[in-house]
């Protein structure tokens, strides 16, 4: 009770200090737009902040006033504002003008490769392209090697496919978007992580907990948003080449160009090939399947005075061939063919004020997948359409913002297997949403709700609430709660479980999965002997009103609809410190408690380690020619499904060590790296590999690395875009 009273006192009646909020915009003679990375500094207090993506900043003022605030950004004339004690809780709108006709002045700011956004209400982790370069990062599935919040695991021991997890929940419960457009949904969720290279990506935002209602209903554990390189900012030409010791070769590129005064474009290409047959554990199965992937993306942007538009296409063809090798009469083969094509548009119309706008997002997708695990065949086809209309405005002042709109999703999906399993349906889901944001001097509140009507499964009401409270100048406290739902695709969501001889028992009916998520985080910045540091602690709990659970116990695959019998608890603590200039240490500990009803008792879900430790060390030399990066992860024990062919109940505790060295020389980057440098490998990842068509064959118990250490080399070449003066 005392703790509760103290917290209420702190939140409502604690000491209030002076604070200023503001928007920094830039005018280049043609239009005015928010400036990202503008520096806002107080001269006497010698403290400053940097504006966020929307040009916003907030700063706690010192006791000693007046003071002079200097606002500066590269390519713009700096401005100053004198602040007095009477300017308590002042809101500023600052416009900087281009210095095109003046001598060039360069203001340098180094954007952190990993950061927690202090301006956003939700808990958002941002990974920039510099963070992605710390690892091989050949595709999206490998982009989270230096991140503690997202886990990437193998789905089985024969297909080479990977899946992500957040808060101990499968990736299907994490909403993935490409610049706020739905991505990796439906049939492409199983193998789509390998179809987009990390070098295309400008940044990744990872949101924990239920997201905003504007983005849809499927962010049950979190949301991952991918921001690709923008044509107006990207290099004139960029090339990345990669080769590893297992016979994997990759080449990806991008190029940005101006088509007219208002139109710009970008072309992205990606080619990957696995040509080396690898069987390091000698079980006659390829550890990595052969195959190739070809991906292309084109985007074209229009920027006018009253509107802007973005449109483009994304296409990829992915083929995998794995299974047994050697002189075997009737080998067990694995083949996966994956074809994808989609077209997207984003159009924005601006009102009389910067906060007033109307946005329209559309996406049309076609997905075709087929293949086999031995004699077990599968196929799937999906046609999807998406429309989201968003209106932004404020009520009287910018402290009271609203977002409202309509959405519509069309899905025509069919999926089947040779085991006579099938799931075909046509979905029509109209929806409406409303979100209100109040911005106070210390408290920001976002209240949202959406209403969706599924023409097959009826109505769903989705409320969500997010709070951010500034406990002190260096401390942020966040709370979030909300509902999420999705319709499961039980075949394609679990297609890798065909890599065994066990019978599938289909669910009695398909019903929407419904979950609630609640949690919060504390973010603290501080100095340790003049070294900048930060500490983040968060806890989230997800519980399901209804979940389609996969029961893998006792040599069978059963799908069961459970009501109020599935829960996930996630705790994570992460610290970041820069003890020396350009030398950054990040360490984290994560605890996961994920349980469901299996048999007659609530048990831990299989393949999910309860404990995980993480450490990342990064150093850049003074001349910025050399980058050194080391990432160490230690994964704890995970419960394994009971099996008549294996008495093992838990996986091992094992380490994973990755390292990379990068040398930069003008337009060139040369990098050398290694993965799994401890050379740890799971023994016997396949049960009875000598009898793959027998009743006991099982390649789905892969919980650790299948192959040993990996050494890779690569280069990056870039031609920067010339800046007009």
Pick from 219, 21, 227: nearest CA to 118 = 21
Report how far residue 568's alpha carbon sits from residue 167's, in angstroms, rounded to the nearest whole number: 7
Per-residue model confidence (pLDDT) at position 7: 40
Query: Are the beta carbons of 370 and 380 closer than 8 angstroms?
Result: yes
pLDDT, tens digit (0-9, with 9 covering 90-100), for 362-401: 999 999 999 999 999 999 999 999 999 999 998 988 889 9
Cα angle 485, 521, 145 (rounded to 5 degrees) comes to: 75
* SS3 label, residue 4: helix
Per-residue pLDDT averaged across 219-225, rounded?
93
pLDDT at residue 321 greater than cutoff 80: yes
pLDDT, tens digit (0-9, with 9 covering 90-100), for 478-503: 999 999 999 999 999 999 999 999 99
Confidence label for 162 from pLDDT (cuts 50, 70 and 90): confident
Per-residue model confidence (pLDDT) at position 509: 92
pLDDT, tens digit (0-9, with 9 covering 90-100), for 556-576: 999 999 999 999 999 999 999
pLDDT at residue 5 greater than cutoff 60: no
Report how far residue 235's alpha carbon sits from residue 262's, in angstroms, rounded to the nearest whole number: 18
Query: Are the beta carbons of 164 and 213 closer than 8 angstroms?
Result: no
In the numeric block, which tokens belong to residue 416? 């089947």
Would strands 90-97 and 19-27 be described as parallel, antiparallel, or unpaired? parallel
Per-residue model confidence (pLDDT) at position 1: 39
Confidence label for 17 from pLDDT (cuts 50, 70 and 90): low
pLDDT, tens digit (0-9, with 9 covering 90-100), for 677-717: 999 999 999 999 999 999 999 999 999 999 999 999 999 99
Q: What residues does 34 pair with on adjacent strands?
A: 25
- pTM for the complete prediction? 0.86
Report cis status (omega within 30 of 0) of the bond before 66: yes
Least confident of 46-55, 197-206, 322-331, 671-680: 46-55
In the numeric block, which tokens belong to residue 510? 């398909």
Per-residue pLDDT averaged across 49-61, rounded?
82
Report how far residue 240's alpha carbon sits from residue 717's, in angstroms, rounded to the nearest whole number: 7
Report how far residue 537's alpha carbon sits from residue 158's, in angstroms, rounded to the nearest whole number: 37
Confidence label for 613 from pLDDT (cuts 50, 70 and 90): very high
Contacts of 141 (CB under 8 A, 6+ apart): 152, 162, 164, 193, 194
Q: What is the DSSP string of 449-506?
A: EEEEEETTTEEEEEEEEEEEEEEETTEEEEEEEEEEEE---TTGGGGGGGSBSPPEE-
Neighbours of 599 (CB within 10 A): 10
* SS3 label, residue 610: coil
pLDDT, tens digit (0-9, with 9 covering 90-100), for 94-130: 888 887 644 444 444 455 777 888 888 999 999 888 8
Per-residue model confidence (pLDDT) at position 86: 66
Tell me what percent of the residues of the chain surpass a pLDDT of 90. 67
Cα angle 598, 599, 600 (rounded to 5 degrees) comes to: 110
Report how far residue 604's alpha carbon sits from residue 594's, in angstroms, rounded to the nearest whole number: 6
pLDDT at residue 2 greater than cutoff 50: no
Per-residue model confidence (pLDDT) at position 101: 47
Confidence label for 88 from pLDDT (cuts 50, 70 and 90): low
pLDDT at residue 534 greater than cutoff 90: yes
Mean pLDDT score of the chain: 89
Per-residue pLDDT averaged across 439-467, rounded?
95
pLDDT at residue 723 greater than cutoff 70: no
Would strands 39-42 and 79-83 be described as parallel, antiparallel, or unpaired? unpaired
CA distances from 270 to 249, 327, 339, 367, 444 (A): 11, 34, 15, 19, 42
pLDDT, tens digit (0-9, with 9 covering 90-100), for 640-686: 998 888 888 999 999 999 999 999 999 999 999 999 999 999 999 99
Domains and CATH numbers, the chain: 18-97 (2.60.40.1120), 114-719 (2.40.170.20)
Per-residue pLDDT averaged across 594-601, rounded?
88
Contacts of 63 (CB under 8 A, 6+ apart): none
Per-residue model confidence (pLDDT) at position 352: 77
Q: Which residue has the higher pLDDT, 46 or 347?
A: 347
């Amino acid at each position: 009770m005392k703790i509760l009273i103290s917290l209420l006192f702190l939140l409502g009646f604690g000491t209030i200090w002076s604070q200023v909020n503001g928007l920094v915009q830039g005018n280049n003679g043609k239009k005015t737009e928010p400036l990202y990375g503008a520096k806002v500094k107080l001269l006497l207090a010698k403290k400053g902040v940097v504006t966020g993506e929307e040009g916003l900043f907030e700063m706690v003022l010192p006791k000693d006033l007046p003071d002079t605030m200097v606002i500066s950004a590269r390519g713009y004339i700096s401005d100053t504002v004198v602040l007095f004690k009477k300017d308590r809780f002042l809101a500023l709108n600052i416009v900087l003008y281009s210095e095109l006709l003046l001598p060039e002045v360069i203001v340098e700011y180094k954007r952190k490769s990993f950061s927690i956004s202090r301006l956003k209400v939700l808990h958002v982790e941002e990974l920039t392209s510099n963070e992605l370069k710390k690892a091989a990062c050949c595709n999206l599935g490998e982009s989270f090697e230096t991140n503690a919040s997202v886990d990437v695991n193998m789905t089985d021991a024969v297909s080479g496919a990977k899946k992500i997890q957040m808060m101990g929940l499968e990736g299907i419960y994490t909403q993935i978007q490409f610049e706020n457009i739905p991505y990796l949904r439906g049939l492409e969720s199983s193998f789509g992580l390998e179809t987009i290279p990390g070098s295309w990506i400008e940044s990744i935002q990872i949101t924990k907990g239920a997201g905003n209602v504007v983005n849809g209903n499927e962010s049950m554990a979190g949301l991952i948003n991918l921001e690709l390189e923008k044509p107006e900012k990207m290099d004139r030409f960029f090339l990345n080449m990669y080769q590893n010791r297992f016979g994997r070769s990759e080449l990806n590129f991008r190029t940005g160009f101006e088509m007219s005064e208002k139109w710009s474009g970008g072309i992205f290409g990606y080619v990957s090939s696995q040509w080396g047959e690898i069987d390091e554990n000698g079980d006659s199965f390829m550890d990595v399947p052969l195959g190739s992937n070809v991906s292309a993306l084109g985007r074209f942007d229009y920027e006018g005075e009253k509107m802007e538009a973005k449109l483009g296409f994304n296409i990829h063809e992915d083929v995998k061939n794995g299974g047994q090798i050697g002189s075997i009469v009737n080998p067990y083969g694995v083949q996966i063919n994956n074809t994808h094509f989609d077209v997207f548009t984003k159009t924005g119309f601006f009102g009389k004020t910067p906060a007033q706008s109307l946005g329209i997002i559309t996406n049309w997708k076609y997905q075709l997948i087929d293949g086999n695990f031995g004699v077990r065949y599968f196929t799937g086809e999906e046609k999807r359409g998406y429309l989201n209309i968003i209106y932004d405005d404020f009520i009287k002042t910018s402290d009271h913002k609203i977002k409202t709109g309509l959405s519509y999703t069309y899905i025509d999906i069919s999926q089947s297997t040779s085991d006579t399993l099938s799931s075909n349906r046509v979905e029509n889901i109209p929806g409406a949403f409303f979100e209100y944001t109040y911005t106070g001097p210390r408290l920001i509140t976002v209240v949202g709700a959406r209403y969706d009507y599924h023409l097959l499964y009826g109505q769903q009401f989705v409320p969500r609430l997010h709070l951010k409270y500034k406990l002190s100048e260096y401390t942020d406290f966040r709370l979030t709660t909300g509902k999420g739902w999705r319709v499961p695709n039980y075949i394609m969501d679990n297609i890798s479980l065909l890599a065994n001889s066990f019978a599938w028992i289909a669910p009695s009916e398909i019903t929407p999965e419904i979950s609630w998520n609640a949690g919060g985080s504390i973010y603290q910045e501080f100095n340790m002997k003049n070294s900048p540091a930060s500490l983040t602690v968060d806890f989230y709990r997800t519980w399901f009103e209804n979940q389609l659970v996969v029961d893998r116990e006792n040599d069978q695959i059963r799908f069961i609809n459970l009501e109020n019998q599935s829960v996930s608890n996630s705790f994570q603590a992460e610290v970041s410190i820069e003890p020396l200039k350009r030398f950054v240490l990040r360490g984290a500990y994560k605890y996961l408690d994920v349980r469901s009803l299996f048999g007659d008792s609530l048990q831990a879900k299989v393949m999910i380690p309860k404990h995980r430790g993480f450490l990342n060390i990064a150093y850049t030399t003074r001349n910025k020619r050399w980058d050194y990066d080391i990432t160490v992860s230690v994964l704890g024990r995970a419960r394994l499904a009971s099996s008549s062919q294996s008495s093992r109940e838990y996986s091992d505790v094992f380490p994973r060590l990755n390292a990379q060295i990068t040398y930069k020389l003008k337009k060139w980057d040369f990098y050398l790296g290694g993965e799994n440098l401890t050379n740890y490998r799971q023994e016997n990842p396949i049960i009875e590999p000598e009898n793959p068509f027998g009743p006991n064959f099982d390649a789905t118990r892969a919980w650790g690395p299948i192959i040993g250490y990996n050494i890779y080399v690569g280069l990056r070449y870039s031609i920067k875009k010339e800046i007009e003066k």
